[in-house]
Chain A
Amino acid sequence: MSELLDSTRAALTLLVSLDPDLWEIIGVSFRVSLTAMVLAIPPALLIALALARLAFPGRWLLISLANTLMAVPTVVVGLMLFMLLSRSGPLGEWRLLFTQPAMVIGQWLLAIPLLIAMLHAALQGVDQRAWETARLHGAGRVAALWRLLGEARFGVMAAIVASFGRIIAEVGSAVMVGGNIEHFTRNITTAIALETLKGEYAQGIALGLVLLVLALILNLMLGVLRGRGQQTLSS
């Protein structure tokens, strides 16, 4: 028990003292996951819009596919990407294995299905008249789209927060295609998973705390947003 307390105390000291190694690891996590999100949101939004607004053959198949891929284990994505990027793999020429871009691709692949499924649900739930009303009032397509997103903002934010939460907390893909290389591809989760092998737990606890605090902040943000949504409804 004192072991746990000692490690936690050491962890807090590391965090507060801005230990450079620790914050470098946190930086890698955020850089990789934020990049993956920025690259994933636009295509996912377009596909979700198409799924919600257009009727085309294969639409339900696509929706089912997105829902299925949401459940793919991160290690499976990591393994597939590893084989693609390996020197003996079809994309080996790119020399991307064990780099941050490889981690971004892995997390991008993990985020896309979740984003599509949740964005689709959010946009589908919006009153279909929002678009038509905006158009009738003379709004252009872009303005009408903006209006639609505004109507669905809670669902859209929930999709983004949930996807970010999934990819920043995933370890399977990051360790396989990133490799946990110090100063290069070591992020929060791979450090926790593999650095504790050294038998030094303080850093693992500190990094775990960072993830917990992040989850708390994201959920608070969602809560605030939800509160606003309810106010708009009742006013």
Chain B
Amino acid sequence: MSLPATLRNAAIILGATLLTSPVLAADNDIIRLATTTSTYNSGLLDELLPQFEAEHPYQVQVIAVGTGKALRMGQDGDADLVMTHAPAAEKAFVDAGYGVEPQGVMYNDFVIVGPQKDSADIQGLEEATKAFKQIADSDALFISRGDDSGTHKKELALWQSSDIEPGFEGYRAAGQGMGKVLQMASELQGYTLTDRGTWLAMQNKLDLSLLMQGDPRLFNPYQVILVNPERYNDLNTDGARAWRSG
């Protein structure tokens, strides 16, 4: 390539960069929110997003994944903020310096749903651990999220406090989102642990009953955590703060 051609190409590249930079700057109007599939499936964001976007100059891009992946996206700088519900994992996330300013934003609770005939006879029980024990002992089917999500971590914690090794005969780890797992539980007539929001949004389409609720162990706090702006310089932290405060 001759020198004039090289110069011309350099000029083109420079020009293109200048032309596209306003577009890049406009990216700051976008807030990338990594959240859990259960939040997404509950329909809550469908309520909040249009209102927020009408009041603020930001556009929110929701990435619905498991809590594990959401936190990982925060760690990798692929999101501006995360909204998750796994207290232990969130604490580790903040302690490691990946996230800052954690703040509880809302509450939800988990419920245990299952087939109407309730072969494990858990309806009316007051302790979730007892319900889990009876499900395992009666060799009923239990569909687990199995995806390292907040709901999955909660479920594993409940098995642990019930002194049961998840992996009994009827245990199925699906590795999928809450909606899919509820659908699977309905099709296979098995039990599962779900957040109430997703259950309410989906129950009409499911052949399942709400069998157990109200145990304080089933409490489900959500936190919003900003991705540490010191780790990545192109985060939209202002937008993230605006979203958090509503």
* A residues apposed to B, CB below 8 Å: 3, 86-88, 97-98, 175, 179-184, 186, 190-191, 194-200
Given contacts A87-B207, A180-B176, A182-B175, contact A199 B148 (CB under 8 A): yes
Q: Please give, as numbers and ranges, the residues of chain A lying within 8 Å of B188 by CB-CB distance.
A: 97-98
The interface residues of chain B, by DSSP majority, are classed as mixed
Is the pair B175, A191 in contact by a Cβ cutoff of 8 Å?
yes
| Sample of 25 A–B contacts (CB below 8 Å) | A87-B186, A97-B188, A98-B184, A98-B187, A98-B188, A179-B174, A179-B180, A180-B174, A180-B176, A181-B172, A182-B173, A182-B175, A184-B172, A194-B147, A194-B175, A195-B147, A197-B65, A197-B68, A197-B148, A197-B149, A198-B69, A198-B147, A199-B68, A199-B73, A200-B148
A28 to B148, CA, bound (A): 22
* B residues apposed to A, CB below 8 Å: 65-66, 68-69, 71-73, 76, 146-149, 172-176, 180, 184, 186-189, 207
Cβ of A175 to closest chain B Cβ, rounded Å: 8
Q: Please give, as numbers and ranges, the residues of chain B lying within 8 Å of A180 by CB-CB distance.
A: 174-176
Cβ of B36 to closest chain A Cβ, rounded Å: 10
Q: Please give, as numbers and ranges, the residues of chain A lying within 8 Å of B65 by CB-CB distance.
A: 197
A33 to B87, CA, bound (A): 41
Is the pair A198, B66 in contact by a Cβ cutoff of 8 Å?
yes
Q: Please give, as numbers and ranges, the residues of chain B lying within 8 Å of A88 by CB-CB distance.
A: 207
A87, A182, A186, A198: the one contacting B148 at CB < 8 Å is: A198
A181 to B173, CA, bound (A): 5
The 4 closest A-B pairs by CB, nearest first: A199-B72, A182-B173, A198-B148, A199-B69
Q: Nearest A residue to B177 by beta-carbon distance?
A: A197
Cβ of A186 to closest chain B Cβ, rounded Å: 7
A180 to B146, CA, bound (A): 10
Known: A3-B76, A197-B149. 20 other contacts (CB 8 A): A87-B186, A97-B187, A98-B184, A180-B176, A182-B172, A182-B174, A184-B172, A186-B175, A190-B175, A194-B175, A194-B176, A195-B175, A197-B65, A197-B66, A197-B69, A197-B147, A198-B147, A198-B148, A199-B69, A200-B68
